[in-house]
Chains A and B, each alone.
Chain A
Amino acid sequence: MKKKPEKQEKQEKQEKQEKQEKQEKQEKQEKQEDKNVFDLIEGLTSVDPDQLADFEKAMSDEVIPEIVKMVEKRRMLAAKSRHWPLKC
C-alpha cells in the first residue's frame, strides 16, 4: 500500500486537532451559558427564605389584589374617557 505523503499526513493531523479544539471550546461555551447567573457573580451568599415570608405574604394578600383592582378600575374608567371630545 502506498504511504500518504508526509505533508498530507501532517495537514490531516492538524485539521483533526483543530476540529477537536473547536468542539471542546464550543462545549465549554455552552456550559458557561447554561450556568446560573449566580455562578457568574462572586461573593453571593444564600438568604433565609423565611426572612421574606412577611414580604411575600403582604404581596399575596394585599399588594397584588390591590394592583389588579386598580388596573381594572382604570380600564373601566378609560372605557368612558375614550369618548371625551377634544377640540380646543
Chain B
Amino acid sequence: MYTWIPLNSSADLDALGAEISAEYDPQSIIKRLRAGISGAVKGVLIERNYVDKDYRSTYYNFYAKKGQFYRAHCVRLHFFDATVTFDAKALKLGCPDGQLQDHYFGFIVLRPTGIATIGRSVLSPDVRMGTSGYIITATHKVHLLGYKLSIQGFPSMDQHIDISVCAHVACWSILRHYSERYSVYREFLTHDITLMTQQFNPGGLVPSKGLEVSHAERVFQEAGTFPMQVPRAGKNDTSFYRQLYAYVESGFPLFAAMQSRQHAIAVVGYAWHPAVLTPIKKMQYAWDKVKSLVVVDDNHLPYHSIPVHGGTGYSAEDIDDFIVALPEKIFYPADAVDRLAPTLFQLGTLLALPPENKTILRYFITTGSALRSFMRKRESEFDPKLLETVMTLPFAQFVWIVELATAADWAAGQISARAVLDATASLRERLPFWLFHNRSKALVFNRNSVGAGAKGIRELALSGMEKTALTRLDQNLRPTQSK
C-alpha cells in the first residue's frame, strides 16, 4: 500500500512508472514533476487506495454512471526532503530531529481517470522550480500513516476535461483556499462547483462545454462571498493592473479571465523586480515594481510564474477581466482608492510628504486588527501617542492602506507616510479617512459623526520617529524560500 522512492536525481522519478498503474497516467506525471519540482525533494512516498473527497464527488455523480469501469480510489504522492527515511516493514517515517513536519513539502493526488490525472494537490511553493515572490497560502492538514502533518500552500488540480473545465478549477482552488483559511466559509467539492454554476442541474456533459464569466461570479456568490468583477477598460488601462495587484496583496486570490484564450486561472501571488536603488523620475505604483505574477493554472503544476509582459506563453497583459471574492464589508472599491491616492499630495500643506514625482504608491486592504497587530509588533517604530491613536480609533473591520515611499524607502522595505482609509466608506465621501501620518505628524479624522468634514480633523505632533524604521506593511502573503 505504501512505497518509498528515494530521489538522488530527477531521473529517479522514472521509478514511479513501475509503481503506478496506467490509469493514473504516470508517464505524464513523471514528465511534469521532472520539469517542475526542485532537487530539494529527495523522497516520494506513494500512498495507494487513497479516498479523495473531491474525486469521490465526481465519481459518485459521474464516473460510476459510465459503462467504462473507473476505480473509486486515488493514489497520493507525498514529497519529503533528504533527511526523511521510510521503514517499509514498520510503515514508519523518520527524521533525525523528529520534526517530520519541517521536512514535508506537500502532496499530489492522482485520479484514476486516464487523462488529466492530477487531482487535489497542495504543494509547498518552496519546491516549485522557477517560483519566487509572495504567495497567498493557507495551512492544509494532512493525515498520513498516523502522523498529522500540515502544509502551507494553495490548492490546485487539473481540470477533468469531461466534467469540469479551467474555470471550475479556478473557482474550486479559490474556494478551497477560503474554506481552509477562514472558518466562515464552508468546503465545496468539485461536483458542488459544477452544480453551483447553473440554476438547475444540467446533467450529462454540459459542464464540459465550458462556462461564462457570469457563471463563475454565481459560484462565488453561492459560496457566501461578495464577488466584484473588474473588467479591463482597454489595453492601456494600467489602473486595472494596479487594482489586480492591490487585491492580491490584500490576500484575495483572483479569478482571472483571458478572453482571447477563453481561459481562466487563479492569480495567487507576485514577485518584485530586485530591490535596487534607482532614481524615480515620475510617480510610480507598486505594480510598476512587479516582475511576474504567480498563478494556479490547471494546465501546469501550481505556482506557475507568468511575466508582466512578453514571455513564451501568456503574460499578465492577456488578463482582461478578474473577479475578486470579497467579504461583505468592503464597499469602497479599488477604483476609488486608485484615483484618491495621488490626491493625497494635496494634503502636503498639512503633512510633509515626499515630492509627488519621487514617490511610489502602494495600496491594499487589511483588517483594523491586522494593522493594530502590525504596529504592536513594531512598537519601537512609533511614537506611543500614535500607537494609542490606532488602538483607540473605532475602525470598521476592513481598512484600505495607502503607503507612500521614496526610492530609498522602497529599496529598504520602508515607507515615508501611511494613510488608513475606511473600506466601508461610500464613493462620494470627500474625506474617507481614519488616519494619515508621516514621521512627525498624524492627521486623525472623526468618523463618529456624519458630516464632521474638515472640522472633524485633529492633528497630533509625533516625536522620536525621525530616525526609526517605518516598515512597509507586508503580512498578508507568504514569502517563498526556494529550496
Contacts and interface: CB of A to CB of B under 8 A. Distances in A.
B217 A87 contact: no
Given A59-B343, A86-B167, 8 more contacts: A46-B459, A55-B347, A56-B431, A63-B340, A64-B430, A66-B339, A84-B259, A86-B216
A67 B454 contact: no
Contacts, number: 152
A73 B443 CA distance: 33
A74 B233 CA distance: 7
B430 A56 contact: yes
B388 A41 contact: yes
A23 to B, nearest CB: 26
A49 B453 contact: yes
A52 B350 contact: yes
B36 interface: no
A46 B239 CA distance: 36
Contacts of A41: 385, 388-389, 392, 444, 458, 460
Contacts of A78: 229-231, 321
Contact of A86 (B264, B431, B449): B264
B336 interface: yes
B446 A37 contact: yes
Interface majority SS on B: helix, strand, loop or mixed?
mixed
Nearest to A88: B263
Contact of A38 (B233, B262, B458): B458
B427 interface: yes
Nearest to A77: B231
B448 interface: yes
Contacts of B264: 86
Interface string B266-280: 000000000000000
Nearest to B428: A64
Interface of B: 165-167, 209-214, 216-217, 229-233, 239, 257, 259, 261-264, 320-321, 333, 335-336, 339-340, 343, 346-347, 349-350, 385, 388-389, 392-394, 427-428, 430-431, 443-444, 446, 448-449, 453-455, 457-461
Interface of A: 36-38, 40-47, 49, 51-56, 58-60, 63-64, 66-68, 70-71, 73-74, 77-78, 80-88
A88 B458 CA distance: 55
A81 B336 CA distance: 21
Contacts of A36: 446, 448-449
Given A41-B444, A44-B459, A86 B217 contact: no
B444 to A, nearest CB: 6
Contact of A52 (B231, B232, B388, B457): B457
Contact of A45 (B231, B340, B430, B459): B459
B392 A40 contact: yes
A27 B326 CA distance: 40
A86 B339 contact: no
A72 B18 CA distance: 59
Given A46-B458, A84-B212, A86-B216, A51 B448 contact: no
A3 B181 CA distance: 68
A78 B321 CA distance: 8
Contact of B388 (A42, A45, A74): A42
Nearest to A64: B428
A40 to B, nearest CB: 5
B213 A38 contact: no
B346 A54 contact: yes
A60 B457 CA distance: 18
A27 to B, nearest CB: 21
